[in-house]
Chains A and B, each alone.
Chain A
Amino acid sequence: MKELIEELKVKIIEALNLEEVRPEDIDENASLFGDGLGLDSIDALELIVMMERNYGIKLKDPAQGKEIFKSITVMADYIQKNRTK
């Protein structure tokens, strides 16, 4: 799990072009949207693509993302339970 969290930090920085953020700057329990990293709706869609590409998880409804992207810990937990690759 710890490993997956670290991996996710790197992948999120890369997928969302968070040029000035380092993995160690991200608090895995903080909210990704709103105050946290300040992500927006396009970033959420890009995270959905990232989950499909890397972990074989397909989300059909963008609203599902709201729950899953609450924090990196929540996201890692979801990926661990649902990944197909």
Chain B
Amino acid sequence: MRIKKWLSFSPDSLSLNGETLGVVGGGVEMLHELYRRKVGDYPKFFKMDMLGKLGFVASELLLQSEDAPRFVPREDRSVVFCNRSASLVADRRYQETISDADNYYPSPALFVYTLPNIVTGEIAIRNKYYGETSFVVLEKFDPEQIAMHVAAAFQDPVCQSQLVGWTECSDESHWQCLMLLVEREGELDRHGLAATLERMFTSL
């Protein structure tokens, strides 16, 4: 395996392929600002939940830095994301629409995002990725296990590259996001990938 592009993103710092990018504001507004400055052509972004916005913005920045044509239908790229809190932020917001009998209006748009894997679907829709998509909930950040999931996904011979993410988001002002574009061919084995993830996480 080989890490072709990488991004690390917390509310305090954003770096893409080792280069620090400026961020403005905090919380979800920071994601909105990044979207407006760096993307701007996908209004569906504003309908996404926190996890969706985080994954979307991170994947856009990462994929913009890849020297390859975008939005061409392809089956050879998988999207494999992990986190700890699943869709907790959306769960809370949706629960509020059903917890008061006198103000009881379950929101379909909020419910949809109570499925953590919707973010991988959003990225597949945006980029026309028809390959494997997967979302795994872990007890904690576990680089060996994340690397194992990546190795397992490469068992599919069609899969040549993967968008790999740790997209953890416990509320609207706290997140940890690592995102890698990993190619099948290269010198890294599973443990090498895990060690890189560990290093990135420590400096997050």
Cβ contacts under 8 Å, B32 to chain A: 19
- Tell yes or no: A34 within 8 A of B by CB: no
Binary contact readout B95-128 vs A (1 if CB under 8 angstroms, 0 otherwise): 0000000000111110010000000000000000
When A18-B43, A19-B43 are in contact, do A52 and B112 touch as well, CB less than 8 Å? no
Binary contact readout A1-18 vs B (1 if CB under 8 angstroms, 0 otherwise): 000000000000000111
A23 to chain B, nearest CB (A): 16
Cβ contacts under 8 Å, A43 to chain B: 47, 109
Interface residues on B, range: 10 to 19
Contact B46 A20 (CB under 8 A): yes
Interface residues on A, range: 10 to 19
Contact B47 A53 (CB under 8 A): no
Contact A46 B108 (CB under 8 A): yes
A64 to chain B, nearest CB (A): 15
Contact A18 B109 (CB under 8 A): no
The 8 Å CB contact of B43, one of A38, A49, A52, is: A38
In the complex the two chains form, what is the Cα distance from A49 to B109 in whole Å?
10
- Tell yes or no: A42 within 8 A of B by CB: yes
In the complex the two chains form, what is the Cα distance from A46 to B107 in whole Å?
7
Cβ contacts under 8 Å, A42 to chain B: 47, 108-109, 112
- Residues of chain B touching chain A, judged by Cβ–Cβ distance below 8 Å, are 32, 43, 46-47, 105-109, 112
- Which 8 pairs show the lowest CB-CB distances between chains A and B? A19-B46, A45-B108, A17-B46, A46-B109, A17-B47, A53-B105, A49-B105, A42-B109
